[in-house]
Amino acid sequence: MSSDVTPNAPRPKSTGLHSGPIQPGVAKVDPIIVADGIKRTFGGLTAVDVDHLEVPRHAITALIGPNGAGKTTLFNLLTGFDKPDAGTWSFDGQSLSGKPAYRVARMGQVRTFQLTKALGLLTVLENMKLGAKEQTGEKFWLSLFPGFWRRQEAAIEEKARELLVKFKLDAKEADFAASLSGGQRKLLEMARALMTDPTLVMLDEPMAGVNPALTQSLLDKILDLKDEGMTVLFVEHDMAMVRHIADWVVVMAEGRIVAEGPPADVMQNPAVIDAYLGAHQELDLGVVTGRHTADEVE
């Protein structure tokens, strides 16, 4: 399995993303997201408690942490799907606090969900077309007259087909999304998110449930996004993959950011090993996160 994720021709990582000594909450040279004092509690449980976080632009940042660390909750907060008890955050210099989810998405910060939300009752192509932004035909009165939107619709369809080819879903375009496999749905959700021409793509466990044979191509897709000028923030449990594609890693545990830094450094950080392993310090991270057996990793 680990051979799957060994790149044939590794692409260069972005470096020099931070300024000042590496520590949780370190300032970035060119941050796209800046968050301050974000706190979210559910009853007595503090799910997220982040003092300061900056996400570097034009880089791939991984958000890791044990189950229940608050990663998804932080995603929900940053994208306007949930409301924090306290805190402010901005995207591309504009404050996002209190902005509803759809506005966040319109500004170019688009997300996918840990539990995939492919729209099963629409066809694959319709799912894709739904992603496109600023459609004339989505306005109530104009939608009544195809003359206003037919041309734009054709352009959207073309773009959707191109993306579907890239994601190897073109053969399925006329099928209801409900007929796709779990991994294919993940792909579709990601491709659909790209239809919005985002600046920041936030992926919640994009690789979970995806067939190992597909992971390599999915990782390449994520690396392509960076090459196309987008910023990626993703949640992942598999350390090998994180090591492979991330330029920067942020580690959460019990709602807090306990460490961040370039992947190689973070893996050595005692705070991270602590957070993940507790008592089992002799084990490798890849083993604990359940992707590898001990003898596969050396």
Partner 1 sequence: MALAKHSTFRRSAGLVSLLLTALVALLTFLSASPASADEANMDEPFRVSGNVQNKGEPLEDVLITVTGPGGYEVEVETDAEGKWRVGVPEEEEYEVTLDESTLPDGVAVVEGSNVRTVEVGPAGRVSTNFFIGVGERNVTSFFDQFVERLATGLNFGLMLALASIGASLVFGTTRLSNFAHAEMVTFGAVMAYFLSVAIALPIYLAIPLAVLLSGVFGLAMDAGLWRPLRRKGLGTVQLMIVSIGLSLALRYIFQFFIGGGTVQLPGSNSPQIPLFGAVSLSVIDIVSMAISIVVIAAFAFWLLRTRIGKATRAISDNPSLAAASGIDVDRVVRIVWIIAAGLAGLAGVLYAYYRPGIKWDMGAQILLLVFAAITLGGLGTAFGALVGSLIVGTLVEISSLWIPADLKYVGALVLLILILLFRPQGILGRRERIG
Partner 2 sequence: MDWGQILSNTASSLIGPATIAYALAAIGLSVHFGYAGLINMGIAGFMAIGAYGYAISALTFGLPWWAGFLVGIGASIVFALILGIPTLRLRGDYLAIVTIAAAEVLRLLFLTGEFDDVTGSADGLSGYHASFRAANPIPDGTYGFGPWTYNANGWWVRILGIAIVAIVALIVWSLMRSPWGRVLKGIREDEDAVRALGKNVFAYKLQALMLGGVFGALGGIVYALPSAVNPGVYVTSLTFFVYTALLLGGAATIFGPILGSVIFWVLQTFLSNVLPALATSGILPVTSTQASTLRFVLVGVILMLIVIFSPQGILGNKKELTFVK
Ligand X SMILES: Nc1ncnc2c1ncn2[C@@H]1O[C@H](COP(=O)(O)OP(=O)(O)OP(=O)(O)O)[C@@H](O)[C@H]1O
- Under the rule (CB under 8 A), what is the footprint of partner 1? 72, 75-76, 80-83, 98-101, 113-115, 204
Q: How many CA atoms lie within 13 A of 188 on its CB side?
A: 31
Nearest to 32 by CA among 58, 52, 50, 62: 58
Residue 164 structure tokens: 């579907």
Which is nearer to partner 1, 98 or 212 (by Cβ)?
A: 98
Q: How far is the CB of 43 from partner 1 (least distance, A)?
A: 9
65 binds ligand X (CB under 6 A): yes
- Annotate 235-292 with three-state secondary structure: ECCCHHHHHHHCCEEEEEECCEEEEEECHHHHHHCHHHHHHHHCCCCCCCHHHHCCCC
75 binds, among partner 2, partner 1, Mg ion, none (CB under 5 to 8 A by kind): partner 1
Segment interacting with ligand X (CB under 6 A) among 26-34, 40-48, 121-129, 134-142: 40-48
Q: How far is the CB of 156 from partner 2 (least distance, A)?
A: 8
Which is nearer to partner 1, 89 or 247 (by Cβ)?
A: 89
Q: What is d(CA 67, CA 81) in angstroms, rounded to the nearest whole number?
A: 20
42 binds ligand X (CB under 6 A): yes
Q: What is d(CA 234, CA 61) in angstroms, rounded to the nearest whole number?
A: 6
Tokens 């692409």 -> residue: 11
70 binds ligand X (CB under 6 A): yes
Q: Is 298 exposed, middle or buried (0-12, 13-18, 19+ CB in 10 A)?
A: exposed
Using CB under 8 A, list all residues that contact partner 2: 79, 81, 100-103, 105-106, 110-113, 117-122, 126, 129-131, 133, 135-140, 143-146, 149, 153, 176, 178, 189, 192-193, 195-196
Using CB under 6 A, list all residues that contact ligand X: 42, 45, 47, 65, 67-73, 114
